[in-house]
Chain A
């Protein structure tokens, strides 16, 4: 089966951002066909469902199934939201589509809106994507002029308006409910689920949030049918996926390959291996918020949702970060921790307090202060964050750092013990270590963490005693 591009098919055609060039390549033909033949929205949903297209933003939820959750008989207006708030470190696939092929995305947005019966669509762009935003704005203006957007589109009786909204620089607004809050004008903070946005989302109306890459694939699926799309990929992960590859690699960039493509082949033939012929050390396959993989795990897997999960990581958003042997993973962990501590929204406790704490501990390690016990405390703190938060941002700091600490323990132990990197032999933040300034360390105590046996012991029988049974409604304190 020939390697065919689906999402990136027209991306290299010169002038593709203009509507005339896009229409010459068969653009908006599906939108016209759907409207002129008055295809039932349900039929469109069934087509996407049968194609096996899954959400490309990270979670991999089947797109057609998501669309079918919108209650058709709801009296409320429905909304289509396109999530172009691509802020994950290592992920830059959507930017290419926004800047180089905005019309294909727009057609996907229109088809998706038609399928779920939405008359208003928003494209929520990352604030830093100035060029992408200009391109999308221009595409919308051109499409409006051509009569593809507006009231009574092409005489079909269907109204559709598309608006763009630029974020203000918060990573958390890429989470769908936080994005809805941000669009409504509130603080960008995730909501509790359920209710899911498909039932109660934007202004408590049924809302579908889809990634750019997902929507950009929709026109091709509608054009060629689900069987055509299903010929690529594996049984459960169909179609192609964009991989944005960065790090210590010979040929970084955005690649479109079918799902199920062997990782070793991808790495060695398409990416050309690590740069300067160095040895591969670790890979984070799905943007910075998934588990890191060792080379053995990575080469054993195929690039699809199931196979990567089987080998201990997640496909995520497809932002592959490559570390070669010259990379110090302790320093990489600090960078990752800094990102999540900076981007934590501050809503729920474990993420708000935990991410900052993890970062401060890593900064101490990098400052070269010997601190026995730091590794245990770090792992323990990350366990307390994992799974206890409202949205997956709390999990996102834990997954890459904890997996690196577990898979490359000697590097972390060396840095904590020796105060310098095992790889580079240097102390990165040596200027932060000021042992002569006791106010930097609490009361100038010797820098150590309590061991587990210190806090396992019961404190006057009040706490830590599960055998006392569940907590009674009102504790009566007796005089002792």
Chain B
């Protein structure tokens, strides 16, 4: 068991742990954007830079494994300046429209912007803007707010099994999108809303209707009688309701205190059930233990559910009674503006 020193605190951690988790064990938070425990670290946001004694360059906390006797600083001027620099770059083209952004209040960019950002802006140029394109009729995409962490791409590829979103273009005009603005053809597409650390992907149903700090968050599960598509909902309805004055304003996945999703929820649970009678409230659900690894991918969950439902005789003649995906999330995009590419 290597012993590492993080900001003067000695901790003993298991072999192969990253600096990020060692620091969390020592009670020190290292800010992250692109890191998500569900995926292999990608290291492209660079906000988690820390100083390791004896190593010339700053190292990323989310990927660098600990070694015995490692001395890590997360709170000195060099690290602070690097993080401030990364924050400045991330906010360079950010519209700073927090007052009208649905993510405000639970936005990583806001939190770390207050902690590490410049109090003044040094950009003297027009901001880069993108035309607004959405993922279907349920998910709003505001590319101007995006910080290019690529969590949504990795979620779609690794957990939904769809390869329909990716990076377009290169450099500072690179853009996350689906080719010809199609929706994400998966019954689990709404999870990109929860995985987005900023307000780039938001729930269109909840749009402009409530502020997250007004909502009361209640863990709940969909009643079996209310499920239209039990194959997805059986393992995809462990949700969190956002209530305001007894009315559901939004449904999200359950998250731990680092705002990491406990599991995925299906699009039916997220978008279709806004009646409290459809839900069973689970007050004692565990929402504090930090998530350290990803859940099963959507396909496996569906197969498990299908097998169980067949055994219970709840599927008609063993056939899956699943509504076609177009009814749930993959309605065509807001318009196939093919001319945009040549703009």
Using CB atoms and an 8 Å cutoff, list the residues of chain A in contact with chain B: 170, 187, 192, 341-350, 352-357, 360, 364, 371, 377, 381, 383-385, 387-390, 439-442, 445, 447, 449-450, 454-455, 457, 459, 462-464, 466, 469-475
Interface-facing stretch out of B76-84, B224-232, B291-299: B76-84
B92 and A353 contact, CB distance less than 8 A: yes
**CB of B123 closer than 8 Å to a CB of A:** yes
B interface residue count range (under 10 / 10 to 19 / 20 to 34 / 35 or more):
35 or more
B49 and A347 contacting across the interface, CB-CB below 8 Å: no
Instruction: Apart from A352-B171, A463-B116, list 4 A-B contacts with CB within 8 A.
Output: A346-B171, A388-B58, A463-B115, A473-B29
Closest to A345 in B: B170
Task: Evaluate contact between B123 and A388: CB separation under 8 angstroms.
Answer: no
Within 153-170 of B, Cβ neighbours of A (below 8 Å) are at 166-167, 169-170
The residue that B76 contacts in the complex, of A377, A455, A466, A472, with Cβ under 8 A, is A466
Contacts A353-B93, A463-B119, A470-B7 hold; do A347 and B125 have CB atoms under 8 A apart? no
**Interface centre among A345, A355, A440, by most B CB within 10 Å?**
A345
A347-B120 contact given A353-B93, A473-B24, CB 8 Å threshold: no
Task: Kindly state whether residue B89 has any CB partner on chain A within 8 Å.
Answer: yes
Q: A463-B116, A473-B29 are in contact. Are A350 and B89 (CB under 8 A)?
A: yes
Given known contacts A170-B170, A470-B74, A471-B115, is B124 in contact with A346 (CB within 8 Å)?
no
Chain B neighbourhood of A356, CB < 8 A = 171-172
* Pairwise interchain contact B92-A350, C-beta atoms closer than 8 A: no
Question: Cβ of B126 and Cβ of A442 under 8 Å apart?
Answer: yes
Cross-chain contact of A357 among B29, B43, B92, B174 (Cβ < 8 A): B92
- Of the candidates B49, B115, B126, which one forms a contact with A462 in the assembled complex, judged by CB atoms under 8 Å apart? B115
Interface mask (B49-81 → A, CB under 8 Å = 1, otherwise 0): 100000011101001000000000011110011
B interface, over-half SS:
loop
Chain B 103-143 interface residues, beta-carbon cutoff 8 Å to A: 111, 114-126
With contacts A349-B148, A470-B7 known, is A343 near B124, CB below 8 A? no
Of all chain A residues, the one with the shortest Cβ separation from B116 is A463
Interface contact B43-A348, CB-CB below 8 Å: yes
B binding-site residues for A, Cβ under 8 Å: 6-7, 24, 27-31, 41-47, 49, 56-58, 60, 63, 74-77, 80-82, 84-86, 88-90, 92-93, 111, 114-126, 147-148, 166-167, 169-172, 174, 257
Which A residues are CB-close (under 8 A) to B47?
A: 349
| Contact assessment for A390 and B119 in the assembled complex, using a CB-CB cutoff below 8 Å | no
- Return B21 CB to nearest CB of chain A, in Å: 12
Contact A350 B63 (CB under 8 A): no
**A459 vs B122: C-alpha distance in the bound complex, in angstroms?**
16
Let me know if A389 and B77 touch, CB within 8 A: no
Which chain B residue lies CB-closest to A459? B119
A441 CA to B60 CA, complexed, in Å: 36
B-chain residues with CB within 8 Å of residue A385 when the two chains form the complex: 85
* A377 CB contacts on chain B under 8 angstroms: 122
